[in-house]
Structure 1
Amino acid sequence: MPRPLRWFARVLTVLLALALVLAGVLVYTVRKSFPQVEGTLRLPGLTGNVEIYRDKSGIPHIYAASAADLFMAQGFVHAQDRFYEMDFRRHMTAGRLSELYGSSTLDTDKALRTMGWRRVAERELPELDQQTQDYLNAYAKGVNAWLSANPNASDRSLEYSVIKIQNGDYRPEPWTALDSLSWLKAMAWDLRSNMEDEIDRALIAAKVPRERVEQLYPAYPYDRHAPIVTQGTIDQDRFDQRAEPRLRGRAGTGALTQAAKTLDSVPSTMGTEDREGVGSNSWVISGDHTKSGKPLLANDPHLSPQLPSVWYQAGLHCQKVTEECPYDVTGFTFSGVPGVIIGHTDKIAWGFTNLGPDVADLFLEQVDGDTYLYKGEQVKLETRQEQIKVAGGSPVTITVRSTVHGPLINEVMSAAKPTGEANAVALQWTALTPGRSADAIFALNKATDWQEFKAAAALFEVPAQNLVYADTSGKIGYQAPGRIPVRAKGDGTWPVPGWTGEYDWRAAPIPYDQLPSVEDPAEGFIVTANNAVIDPERYKPLLTKDWAYGYRSERIRDLVKAAIENGKVDAAAMTAIQQDTRNGFAETLVPALMEVDLAGPGGQARELLKSWDGTQGVDSAAAAYFNAVWRQVLMLTFNDELPEGARPGGGDRWYEVIRRLLQLPDDPFWDDVTTKNRTETRDDILRQALASAYQELADRLGEDVASWRWGDLHRLELVNGSLGTSGIAPVEALFNRGPFAVPGNKDAVNATGWNVQGDYEVTAVPSMRMIVDLSDMDNSQWINLTGASGHAFHENYWDQAEVWAGGGLLPMHSKPESVRKAALHTLRLTP
């Protein structure tokens, strides 16, 4: 061999050897943190033996003799699979991310310290039932037992090995009950109501007259889209589903801009940065209409597509169900929180969708030095100091100032210039008052019938949710729980002056007994999809005016009715409804598009819409073109006049706005104010949207319109909730997965949301899907977005993702015999 070639071969050999060594080190580092799922482990603090069965998806079912042991084991299992996620979340909820990541997260920490989620949890803990406190502490003991057994970074997860490079001194603290409670505040934040809409209304009003702002927030179409509750009213201080109502007739923008920036700084933990993407579907069908003769219940919450998923599937089973150990529950949990959030026991099942009541108001304040004006007097601001530790830097101290209405949220950003009478914005939000939602979790998990379920729901104060219910006796029901404020004046849709006191909240919220509730409705089914709860003609207390507009709920209602008419409903019919991709606005917009004169190649693309049925599968060329046109219609119509933060995202509110504008061809919104000496009309904008959409897709997908695919545009990337957005490509490659082509769109039943101001990439998804069969719980089915494990490269890190993307479901085992039969691994914990 010539000398140069021998030299090259030696170098290559050395490089390959080094690569193998590095690969071996990486594999060892990655696998070292994988959990032990076989054999026996000693867990100090247990009072009896615990068995943990895991199936091929890594989903654990835990069996214990006492409730304390059950929740301690749940804490241990959560830590095995998801401790880094839990640690990240508790730093976020406490405003301590900068301790991990340095100054890049300071704005987030400032915003969270200002709202004080952790401080509220500190006040909340001693007010909880003693049993709840005991279970929270037992859970924390389980987490800490795992932490003690895994003292090194490489023992805990790959993320800690990566963080060690930048922040070598970091050591996780022991878990506490407060860490679990604080996460419930994050849940409430992501499922809050119309706070951003309040700001948007005010910011838009600085650009256009108020009556034109109101055009962008049309009333809910009760005549076309049914509310959840269609019967009953308040009678003798209680909601009575049989009663009938008496007929009735139908700010400072500078500070608000800073407040909007503060709100944007708070990370989304369950929802999505695109607020229009947050939603959910749930429905329940009576046994009168099912093949089994027992109810079927479906649920699929629409949240941000995180990796790992926000949900963790598990079964929590007392070895013998007794009054002392009453739990036999299977469902979706949050890592970091004991109990099951959504699921079923051996007797009942329940699902959640976001009720979305107006539980937060923005009060414009007049601040002067260390005082503020309130009811004609200068009142001293409440102040506190918050010190934020920063990895690699010096601590940062902020001063949080509050009025009677809440913290001044504009002050954690750069100073706002006074505008008009107001120079500050305070946030009043129900979740900033201690509550008992943690009590509700354990009460739900042991409820055995409708009355016990309603009693448990009464404790669920924030976030307010639509609860659907079914049980093995055949009963179905709906309950609206939550702490919902009563305002002395106003409807919560606009920021209001705080200094007058006339818009203050009354001391007591809407009483629980007055909130809408339905038991065994005559229709034989109940549908919730963030639509209006009840027509205000029959219900006086204000819940909110900012609902989703009922496109998903009405489509589900139609599909349920069709399934009933076609024969008895089964689980397959429920699955088909969950997978429905029909665009609810196509039947309105397509005819208008067809009437516009159009020349050039755009006409060929428009032909795709002639025979289109509105479905949005990944292979649909028509769906690709329609959504591109929809994007162009919204941007061309509104981006010239609306401020950047208040521009259309594309959700069903904009369906209603455009529906009405289509009847007003000369409305000022159609005119492009940036063009001189020309006034555009409806047809001008629709024509331009058709042409621009064609050009966009031709550039991206080629000129052959028949080859366009919606799935080539509408793609889901699974991004790790922390290091997946580090900006360091090799690190992101370790933790992120995908992309996947996915069907549907923002307000299809299969709600895969996207924002027209960005691109077509997916920003919100059905984060899990569940169908519960009350005739036999073992016939129930479920799927998680990603997988059980939070460890990158573990076989259960994202093994459910492809099944999820394809519309599939997994068996939801819950009976002991089926759990043991499906188990691939058994771990025994001993005292």
Structure 2
Amino acid sequence: MIYLKRLAILLLAALLLLAGTMAVYAWRSLPQTEGKVSVSGLSAAVDVLRDADGIAHLFAKTPADAYYALGYVHAQDRMWQMEMNRRMATGTLAEVFGAQALPSDRVFRTLGLQAIAERNLAALDANTRATLDAYSQGVNAYLAGHPVLAPEFVIAGFRPGPWQPSDSLAFFRLMAWRMAGNLWDELATAELSQQFSPAQVAELMPAYPGDQRPALPDLKQRYAGTGSPWAGLLAALPERQPVGIGSNSWALAGSRTDSGKPLLANDPHLMLSAPTLWYLAQLHAPGLDVIGATLPGMPGVILGRNQHVAWSFTNTHSDVVDLFLEKQLPGDSSHYLTPEGSAAFAVREERIRVKDGDDVLLRVRSTRHGPVISDVLERAGHLAGEGGVMALSWVGLRDDDLSLQFPLKAALAVDGSGLLAATRDFHSPQQNIVYADTAGSIGFIAAGRVPQRQADNDLMGRAPSPGWEARYDWQGFIPFDDLPQQRDPANGELVTANQKITPPGYNRWITSNWVLPYRAERIHELLAEGANHSRDGMQRMQMDASNPVARQLLPLMLQVPAHDARTREAVQRLANWDGAMLRERAEPLIYAEWLRLFTERLYGERLGDLFEQVGAHNPAFIASVLWDRAGASRWCGEALGEADGVTACRRMLGDSLAQTLDNLSQQYGDAMSGWQWGDAHKAVSRHAVFGDVPVLSRLFNLSIANDGGRDTVNYAGYYYDPVSRQYLDDVGPGLRAVYDLNDPQASGFILSSGQSGNPFSAHYSDMLEGWANGRLVPMISERKRLEQQAHHTLELAPRP
């Protein structure tokens, strides 16, 4: 018995020692936020003032020192995030994670983002290169202090190497790649063409309302002999852009506001992550005073304001990628066919280091259109018949991309005209940049490079093109002055929510993949409810959860027979519902489950693996089927094997509703009054590496019940998880901001997580609840006001 007591005491002591060690490690891994640190490379001391929300305010004597300090605090709070983005962009994940990361490394080595970044660096102006140097010195000054790093580095068992200026540019190219979604649309169209007629493909992928999209040629005939490799390409490509990546932004002129000066709202919708993509910071130095959202790994405020002008982004969704089928010469894999005859592939070799394995040598071929991506996709097969390959053209692969100059110049703009001038350097990814200034002006431009395609191009970037035909080659880019833009509209409002932003009669091709205008129309509707609007009103609009798609579809869906009390209750609830996707309501849950089941029955089984690519959320197609436009109800009839499509749709709706009520009763009980959207609908911010690892995911991931849906202003890009049987948001507004040009200090912003990337920090998730409830953090940049509030100050001092 005495031995058992001693063993228990020893085990308890061991557990206490382990807990104490973990507590000491957790405390030491947090960044130093007070006192003084001597560093090399500064010209003068910089004060790093962190407010109660952990937002870093950097007060320096020179702009270069301010950007140096930004690199330092980025590394303090987000070094793991920076390292992962750097390794993904440069194709070096396998070096630390082993062979499992090789598929991603092969693709990004083939794209060559690191080499592109180095050539971009040479093209930048001297000031931007100097800023990149200063920023990199700041990152490396932090690493040179041999800090106790965040827990991910301990778990993965490595330390980051020195930061280089080209690493920031490679990350910028990675961000642009993540928004180049047309690549996947082209592949999906090509695969659909093997199973369906051009008319059916057009029905499944409807044109933008009011557009007359040219009919596609018969792609099945065009791709005859390819062996239908498109699904393999879709499966092999990493990081498919999730459906829903976009944003909201709207500006009001002083004639539409209570203060008489402009207001600007912005919430970019990207992948939710823990920590979020964005990091809030202020940079202050003589001639420089800018505050807003930065990207760890990159110098500059990407979205924000100075004392004169504020600016925001939404994704244009322009078509900036084309895939080209290339024909190798028979018996000669070193040459391919061009309109002028044969040409040699450009060839380079990449060495990929692999943890616990041998190095992998990768032979990369390129054509006149770009890198051959089919060489690194194991399931691709032959793409253009015997001896075919596929090459990729993307505007983000150009050597002369100057996009990083934009945020540095925007920070110095003194009005809207200066901000507009800065957008000339913004090349990719194309963004709708909305701006407002203290003088009262508002404006927008869809800034970025967009390929000009020829009039006889019958594909217009909607499907892979024959690379040996000259009519599919790009003819430069749309000139800057011809890009869609507007200044000081007569109605005093500008709205961009990824909808079509070209004016009537615009004769340049931007894309055929505009996001449907539901959010934009709802924003206009809200703006029309009052003559003048306040800062608080703009903030409330960002949280609007009214679902216009539900309001459009439910009158059609509710034409189902209600033979029992349960069905009658559900139908009555939905008939009386205002469409608001609020977490405490039952109706959003019933609607979402019903629409999901109906959609799967309608075309999920027929599409198979392509269902995810076309999208489980296809409201324009669903509306056409339910309205029986051009006989589209036949999709219901074909799914059920019935001749009468309209009757088949009603039967399918009725069966789907019955299954909905069965599912929800099993999950949440029989009483509908107890069902809540928030019980099933969560915003989930996953960790980039350990988010799906048991035990570790509990430490790193963040989750909260959330309002909104796929078509609401308060955007919630959810997918259905069959394991948890929940609707999980993986796309949403990681940042919200409202800028008040009457009183810039009254502006506000917030993140979907917190400032820190360390899960042991109080600032890892301290903004999450406020974010879900529509709160904003004051965007104060006056030092005196900051020092009157709770804060910590760290001095970065030049080493003697």
* Matching residue within 288, 294, 305 for 1:333: 294
Indicate the residue corresponding to 1:589 in structure 2.
Answer: 553
Shift in Å, 1:516: 1.6
Q: How does 1:264-663 map to 2 (within 5 A)?
A: 265=238, 267=239, 273=240, 275-318=242-285, 320-321=286-287, 327-368=288-329, 369-375=333-339, 377-414=341-378, 416-418=380-382, 421=385, 423-434=388-399, 435-488=401-454, 489-490=457-458, 491-506=460-475, 508-535=476-503, 537-564=504-531, 568-600=532-564, 601-647=566-612, 654-663=618-627
1:376 positional shift: 6.0
Give the 3-state SS of the residue equivalent to 2:230 in structure 1: helix
Q: Secondary structure at the match of 1:72?
A: helix
Q: CA deviation at 1:219?
A: 2.1
Letter in 2 for 1:433: R
Q: CA deviation at 1:275?
A: 2.3
Q: 1:505 to 1:419 in 2, by over 3 A?
A: closer
Judge which range, 551-560 or 579-588, deviates more: 579-588
SS in 1 for 2:519: helix
Structure 1 counterpart of 2:409, one-letter code: A
Amino acid at match of 1:69: D
Match of 2:128?
132
The range that moved more, 415-424 or 205-214, is: 415-424
C-alpha contact 1:724 1:735 (8 A) present in aligned 2: yes
Structure-2 change in CA distance of 1:138 and 1:593 (3 Å):
same
Give the direction of change, closer, same or farther, for the CA distance of 1:546–1:348 in structure 2 (3 Å limit): same
Deviation at 1:366, TM superposition (A): 1.8
Q: Deviations over 1:704-744 (max 9, x none)?
A: 1221111111112332122223x3x233233223x211010
Q: CA deviation at 1:641?
A: 1.8
Counterpart of 1:215, as a letter, is E
Equivalent of residue 794 in structure 1, options 739, 757, 761: 761
Please state how far the C-alpha of 1:484 moved relative to its aligned partner. 0.5
- The 3 A distance-change label for structure 1 pair 418 and 67 is same
Deviation at 1:377, TM superposition (A): 2.5
Match of 2:97 in 1: 101
Within-5 A mapping of 1:211-222: 211-222=199-210
Q: What residue identity is the alignment partner of 2:124?
A: L
Q: Decide which moves more: 412-421 or 539-548.
A: 412-421
1:160 to 2:160 alignment: no
Amino acid aligned to 2:708: G
Is 1:703–2:670 an aligned residue pair?
yes
Q: Distance in 2 between matches of 1:647 and 1:667?
A: 22
**Partner SS state of residue 341, structure 1:** strand
Matched, 1:25 2:21: yes
Task: Name stretches of at least 5 consecutive residues in structure 1 with no aligned partner.
Answer: 165-169, 225-250, 268-272, 322-326
- What do residues 392-425 of structure 1 show as CA deviations (whole Å, max 9, x unaligned)? 1111112111211111212212254336647322
SS at match of 2:718: coil
Aligned partner of 2:235 in structure 1 is: 261
Residues 326 and 384 in structure 2, CA contact (< 8 A), matched pair in contact too: no
Q: After TM superposition, give the deviation of residue 37 of structure 1 in Å.
A: 0.8
Q: What corresponds to 1:245 in structure 2?
A: none
2-structure distance, mates of 1:84, 1:627: 36
Using the TM superposition, give the Cα deviation of residue 666 of structure 1 relative to its aligned residue in structure 2, in angstroms.
6.1
- Give the counterpart letter for 1:524 in structure 2: G
Q: Shift of residue 432 of structure 1?
A: 0.8
Structure 2 unmatched runs, 5+: 213-222
Distance 1:402 1:159, change over 3 A: same
Identical amino acids, percent of aligned pairs: 35
Match of 2:219 in 1: none
Aligned positions, number: 771
Matches within 5 A, 1:138-287: 138-150=134-146, 155-164=148-157, 170-222=158-210, 251=223, 252=226, 254-263=228-237, 265=238, 267=239, 273=240, 275-287=242-254
Once the two structures are TM-superposed, the CA of residue 262 in structure 1 deviates from its matched residue by 3.6
Aligned to 2:220: none
Give the Cα separation in 2 of the matches to 1:666 and 1:404.
42
TM-fit CA distance, 1:673: 4.3
Distance in structure 1 (CA, Å) of the matches to 2:552 and 2:130: 56
C-alpha separation in 2, matches of 1:552 and 1:666: 26
Counterpart code for 2:30: F
Deviation (angstroms), 1:274: 5.5
TM-score, normalised via structure 2 length: 0.93
Q: Report the CA distance shift for 1:253/1:452 in structure 2 as closer, same or farther (over 3 A).
A: farther
Q: 1:25 to 1:447 in 2, by over 3 A?
A: same
Shift in alpha-carbon separation, 1:612–1:677, aligned structure 2, 3 A: closer
Contact 2:721 2:727 in 1 (8 A): no
Distance 1:402 1:174 in 2: 31
Shift of 1:592: 1.3
The one-letter code matched in structure 1 to 2:444 is Y
Shifted more, 111-120 versus 341-350: the winner is 111-120
Distance 1:678 1:695, change over 3 A: farther
Q: 1:532 to 1:501 in 2, by over 3 A?
A: same
Q: 1:651, 1:522 → 2: CA distance?
A: 39
Structure 1 distance, partners of 2:203, 2:305, is: 43
CA distance in 1, matches of 2:756, 2:84: 15
Conserved in 1, the CA contact under 8 Å of 2:466 and 2:472?
Answer: yes
Structure 1 residue identity aligned to 2:29: S
| Residue 7 of structure 1, CA deviation | 4.5
Amino acid in structure 1 at the alignment position of 2:577? W
Q: Measure the CA separation in 1 of the matches of 2:91 and 2:42.
A: 33
Greater alpha carbon shift after TM alignment, 632-641 vs 817-826: 817-826
Cα distance in 1 between the residues matched to 2:227 and 2:309: 49
Mark the CA change 1:308 to 1:649 in structure 2 (over 3 Å): closer, same or farther. farther
- CA pair 676-633 structure 1, distance change in 2 beyond 3 A: closer
- In the alignment, the residues of structure 2 paired with residue 760 and residue 556 of structure 1 have an alpha-carbon distance, to the nearest angstrom, of 25
Matched residue of 2:47: which SS? strand
Letter aligned with residue 450 of structure 2: I
Aligned to 1:118: 114
Measured in 2, the distance between the counterparts of 1:450 and 1:400 equals: 44
Structure 2 residue identity aligned to 1:495: P
Match for 1:50: what amino acid?
A: V
Q: Once the 2 structures are TM-superposed, how far is the Cα of residue 300 of structure 1 from its aligned partner?
A: 0.3
Match of 1:71 in 2: 67
Q: Tell me how far apart the structure 1 counterparts of residues 612 and 379 of structure 2 sit (CA, whole Å).
A: 25
Shift of 1:352: 0.4
Give the aligned residue type for 1:556. Answer: I
**Alignment pair present for 1:781 and 2:762:** no
Give yes or no for contact 1:635–1:757 (8 Å, CA) kept in 2: no
Please tell me whether the aligned partners of residues 262 and 409 of structure 1 are also in contact (alpha carbons under 8 angstroms).
Answer: no
Question: Cα deviations across residues 330-370 of structure 1 (Å, max 9, x unaligned)?
Answer: 00000110110000000000110001111001112223422
Distance 1:253 1:778 in 2: 61
CA distance change for structure 1 residues 47 and 293 in 2, over 3 Å: closer, same or farther?
A: same
State the shift of 1:10 in Å: 3.2
In 2, distance between residues paired with 1:457 and 1:530? 19
